[in-house]
Amino acid sequence: MKTPIPIAWISCVGEKGGAETLMIECLRALDRDAFEPHVIQLRPGPLEGMLRDIGVRVHVLAEHRMRQVGKVAGAIAAIRRLVQSEKLALLHSNGFRAHVYGGIGAAVSGIPEVWTTHTVERAGLSTSAILAIPTDGVLANCPRTAEFFKGRVNAPVELVWPAVNPDVLERAPSREQLVLTYGLPPSARWVSIGGRLQRYKGQAEFLQALAAVRGGNLHGVVIGGSLFGQESDYQRELRELAVALGLRERVTFTGFIPDADVAGLFKASYVTLHPAHDEDFGLAVAEAQALGVATIAFAAVGPAAIVVDGETGWLVPVGDQGGLNRCLGEALVNSDETARRGGNARESCRRRFGIQEHVRKTMDIYRRAILGKGRI
C-alpha cells in the first residue's frame, strides 16, 4: 500500500470562523489513503480540539503578533523544523496572512505551498509585500477574488468554491431538542440568520425586516457572536435595536453555539435571511440551502452565486431594506412556494457546492504542486 503524503495547513487563528470551518470540512473529507493531514496553528485556541476530533495532527506554536518581526521569524523557523521532522511535502496557507508563514516556510524548506484566499485585499505596502512571497498556486473562493489575484501572483490561480458537507449537517438535533435548549417558541415559524456579529453581515437589517412584517407567528433567531475581537459592541447594539423595534419577545440571540445546533436551527427555520452588504461566499447561506431551506439574501457576490432567484430563494439588491421586507412578507404568505424553493435549494446546493467536489479539486492542486517540485 502506498504511504499517504504528509501535508499541513497553516492557520493564523485558534478560533473557528468561516475559513476554519472550510478547513475542517476539507480535512474531514480528505482521502487519508492519499494524504496525511496536519495543521500548524499559529495561535492556541479551541480550534485545536476540533481538529483533533477529526483525526488531524495539530502543532500549536507560541502566540505572537505579525508586527513582532523576531517572533514571526521564530515561527517560520519552527515551521521549517516541522517540515523536516514530519517529512511534510506541502504547506497549505489558509488566508492572506497565513501565506507569510506558509509561503516563506515552504520556500526555505524547498517544498511547495498553495494558498486559499478568502477575499480581495486593500492596496498597500503590506499587501504588496505579501503578494510578492512565492507560491505554487492560489485557490480563490469566488470569481472576484480570482480576478484580483490573477496577474498579482506568479502562479496559477484557480477558482475553488467553498463547500458544505451535507452528511455532517444532517446530524443536527431535532426541533424539539432545540426548543428545550434555547427556549424557543415551539409553534412559531422561526426565521434565522447565521454568522459572526459584524455590521456588514446585516443582522440589523434582519431585525428591521422582522419588525416590518406583522403577523405570521414569526420568531427571529440570531445565531453567532463576535469573533477575533472585532466589533465586540455590536451585540449590545443589536439587543438595544431589538428592544427599540418591539422585538424583545420575538427574537432570540444564541451567541456562539455548537455546529450541530446551528445546522438544526437552520433546518428547523421557515426561511433564513442573509442581508450581508459584502460577502465573497456566505457559508451560512450554503448550509441553509443544503438543508432545504429557502434563503432571502442581498445579492452580494457569494449569495448571488449560491441562491438562484425565484428557484431556491430570493435575491434583493444590496442595501434594499424595503425589498428585503417585501420578500419576507411574500415568503410568509405563500408557504407552498417557499417550500418549493427550499426543496430546489437542497438539490441545487448539494450538487454545486458539495464537499467532495471541493476536496477533489484541492487534492488535484496538491498533486500538481508536489509533482512540480519533484517531490513525487
What is the CATH classification number for the domain harbouring 254?
Answer: 3.40.50.2000
Range of weakest confidence among 55-59, 104-108, 117-121, 315-319: 117-121
Q: pLDDT band at residue 375, thresholds of 50, 70 and 90?
A: low
How far apart are alpha carbons 229 and 349 in whole angstroms?
32
Q: pLDDT band at residue 372, thresholds of 50, 70 and 90?
A: confident
Does position 376 have pLDDT exceeding 60, yes or no?
no
**Cell numbers 476540533 correspond to what residue?**
50
pLDDT of residue 64: 83
The fraction of the chain above a pLDDT of 90, given in percent, is 89
How far apart are alpha carbons 189 and 219 in whole angstroms?
6
Are 215 and 256 part of one and the same domain? yes
Are 91 and 80 part of one and the same domain? yes
pLDDT of residue 330: 96
How far apart are alpha carbons 155 and 149 in whole angstroms?
9
Domain boundaries, position 140? 5-163+354-372
Amino acid present at 128 = S
Do residues 234 and 264 touch, judged by C-beta distance below 8 A? no
Cα of first residue to Cα of last residue in the chain, in angstroms, is: 16
Q: pLDDT band at residue 305, thresholds of 50, 70 and 90?
A: very high
Are 134 and 200 part of one and the same domain? no
Do residues 298 and 316 touch, judged by C-beta distance below 8 A? yes
Does position 171 have pLDDT exceeding 90, yes or no?
yes
Are 103 and 175 part of one and the same domain? no
Are 115 and 99 part of one and the same domain? yes
Are 229 and 282 part of one and the same domain? yes
Are 50 and 113 part of one and the same domain? yes
- Residue 311, all three cell numbers: 428557484
Are 183 and 320 part of one and the same domain? yes
pLDDT of residue 215: 81
Of 139, 152, 141, the closest CA to residue 366 belongs to: 139
Give pTM, 2 decimals.
0.89
200 φ/ψ angles, rounded to the nearest 5 degrees: -70, -15
Of 139, 84, 121, 131, the closest CA to residue 106 belongs to: 84
- Residue 6, all three cell numbers: 504528509
Q: What Å distances lie between residue 225 and 3, 105, 236, 253, 338, CA to CA?
A: 42, 33, 11, 9, 28
Are 295 and 209 part of one and the same domain? yes
Are 186 and 129 part of one and the same domain? no
Are 159 and 46 part of one and the same domain? yes
Longest Cα separation, the chain: 65
130 φ/ψ angles, rounded to the nearest 5 degrees: -70, -40
**Cell numbers 468561516 correspond to what residue?**
18
Give the chain's domain count: 2
Are 68 and 192 part of one and the same domain? no
pLDDT of residue 65: 80
**Cell numbers 428547523 correspond to what residue?**
268
pLDDT of residue 1: 57
